[in-house]
């Protein structure tokens, strides 16, 4: 026999002043979610024909619980580890006792219960609400980017940070490439989507700082940049991705980096320090480590190469991802800024018969 119940799952303390969010998908609708620094709650009225406690095993309700926990991690950098209760028609049931550790934990966090570094990006209400509104099947690579960034922020060691930060970047440029394929005029133009280097190059065009892979000067650029990065103390430097992008001439290291490009004779149309340090150098390191061509740094002295280089690149990637991922999740910014940019580039991409990305139109000008 069916009956209507009021279902309230809660953990920790929730202020009455907290603004609620709504999870709604398929038949699981209007779950009111409240999230605070010390706890979270999910509340819904539901008509059930089984025992009321079975709702916690419903796949969509479990998805709502996971997303509520994810948003708590984004907003506050930690997951509350308090007891978890379900209140059904004013009757309380404990479903997790943190002291007795019984019954089994509601959710296991593979990035721990507290991040080593907070999520400092501008996570607007719209960005957070989109997490609740969109299923993973529609944004798998974008969700992968967010999950990887959270994992990176839970790590202390630079090699681990690098792996997950690159995964987050991979998620973004892969998502951009898949989106762009829908706007490309022919199958030949779409064939490049499977080529990772072309995806990275296309993403650099979205950033308005395209680069062409240098030939004779490639190694010279990388070695010169590595020497500069190896001298920087990450705890003291003000070298940021923003300073590099804006060519901040008041920044000593930005001037040194720019001088390398001038000395070698590489124009910004071929390579720009912004995308070299954000995409190209990390990509080269990724190839060496992920393919087992170089040993991963395991034991290093404090200033021994490549530890300082990894630290700087990790900091730059993390800074960029903190800014960008919330924007990709913001539906308004995504549709009014990112999509028009991707569409313009995609519609004007030309590829050779071998699927090589040949030219694109950027800001009304054709770039080789």
Q: Got the DSSP string for 256-304?
A: HHHHHHHHHT--TTT--HHHIIIIIHHHHHHHHHHTTSSPPP-S--TT-
End-of-domain residue from the set 77, 96, 115: 96
Question: Is the distance from CB of 318 to CB of 153 less than 8 angstroms?
Answer: yes
pLDDT tens figures, 236-258: 777 899 999 888 889 888 999 88
Residue 268, pLDDT score: 61
Question: Is the distance from CB of 328 to CB of 338 less than 8 angstroms?
Answer: yes
Tell me the whole-structure pTM to 2 decimals. Answer: 0.87
The ranges of the chain with pLDDT < 50 are 352-355, 359-368
For residue 43, give every residue at least 6 positions away whose Cβ sits within 8 Å of its Cβ, in sequence order, or none: 6, 7, 8, 9, 31, 32, 33, 34
Residue 47, pLDDT score: 75
Q: How many CB atoms lie within 10 A of CB 186?
A: 10
Give domain status of residue 103, yes or no. Answer: no
Residue 364, pLDDT score: 31
Number of domains forming the structure of the chain: 2
CA distances from 48 to 1, 54, 65, 106 (A): 8, 9, 19, 22
End-of-domain residue from the set 96, 117, 146: 96
Residues 83 and 152 in one domain: no
Residues 40 and 152 in one domain: no
Q: Edge-to-edge, what's the strand order for the sheet holding 21-25?
A: 21-25, 28-36, 39-48, 3-12, 84-88, 91-96
Residue 237, pLDDT score: 73
Residues 213 and 294 in one domain: yes
Residue 339, pLDDT score: 93
pLDDT tens figures, 335-362: 999 999 999 888 877 654 444 555 443 3
Residue 88, pLDDT score: 81
Domain residues for 279? 125-367
Give domain status of residue 64, yes or no. Answer: yes
Give domain status of residue 29, yes or no. Answer: yes
């Amino acid at each position: 026999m069916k009956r209507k119940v009021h279902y309230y799952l809660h953990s920790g303390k929730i202020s009455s002043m907290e603004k609620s969010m709504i999870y709604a998908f398929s038949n699981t609708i209007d779950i009111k979610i409240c999230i605070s620094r010390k706890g979270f709650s999910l509340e819904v009225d539901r008509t059930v024909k089984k025992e009321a406690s079975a709702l916690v095993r419903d796949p969509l309700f479990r998805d709502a619980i996971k997303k509520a926990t994810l948003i708590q991690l984004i907003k506050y950098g930690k997951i509350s580890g308090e007891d978890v209760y379900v209140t059904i028609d004013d009757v309380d049931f404990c479903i997790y006792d943190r002291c007795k550790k019984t019954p089994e934990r509601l959710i296991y966090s593979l990035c721990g219960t507290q991040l080593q570094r907070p999520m400092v990006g501008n996570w607007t209400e719209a960005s957070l609400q989109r997490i609740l509104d969109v299923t993973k099947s529609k944004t798998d690579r974008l969700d992968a980017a967010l999950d990887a960034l959270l994992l990176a922020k839970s790590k202390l060691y630079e090699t681990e940070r690098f792996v997950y930060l690159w995964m987050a970047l991979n998620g973004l440029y892969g998502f951009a490439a898949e989106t762009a394929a829908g706007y490309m005029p022919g199958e030949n133009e779409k064939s490049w989507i499977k080529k990772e280097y072309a995806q990275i190059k296309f993403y650099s065009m979205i950033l308005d700082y395209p680069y062409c892979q240098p030939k004779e000067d490639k190694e010279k650029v990388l070695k010169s940049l590595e020497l500069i990065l190896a001298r920087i103390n990450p705890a003291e430097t003000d070298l940021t991705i923003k300073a590099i992008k804006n060519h901040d001439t008041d920044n000593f290291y930005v001037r040194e980096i720019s001088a390398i490009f001038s000395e070698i004779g590489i124009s910004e149309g071929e390579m720009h320090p912004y995308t070299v340090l954000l995409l190209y150098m990390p990509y080269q390191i990724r190839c060496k480590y992920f393919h087992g061509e170089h040993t991963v740094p395991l034991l290093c002295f404090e200033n021994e190469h490549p530890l300082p280089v990894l630290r700087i690149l990790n900091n730059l990637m993390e800074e960029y991802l903190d800014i960008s991922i919330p924007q990709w999740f913001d539906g308004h910014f995504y549709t009014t800024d990112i999509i028009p940019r991707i569409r313009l580039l995609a519609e004007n991409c030309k590829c050779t018969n071998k699927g090589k990305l040949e030219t694109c139109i950027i800001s009304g000008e054709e770039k080789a």
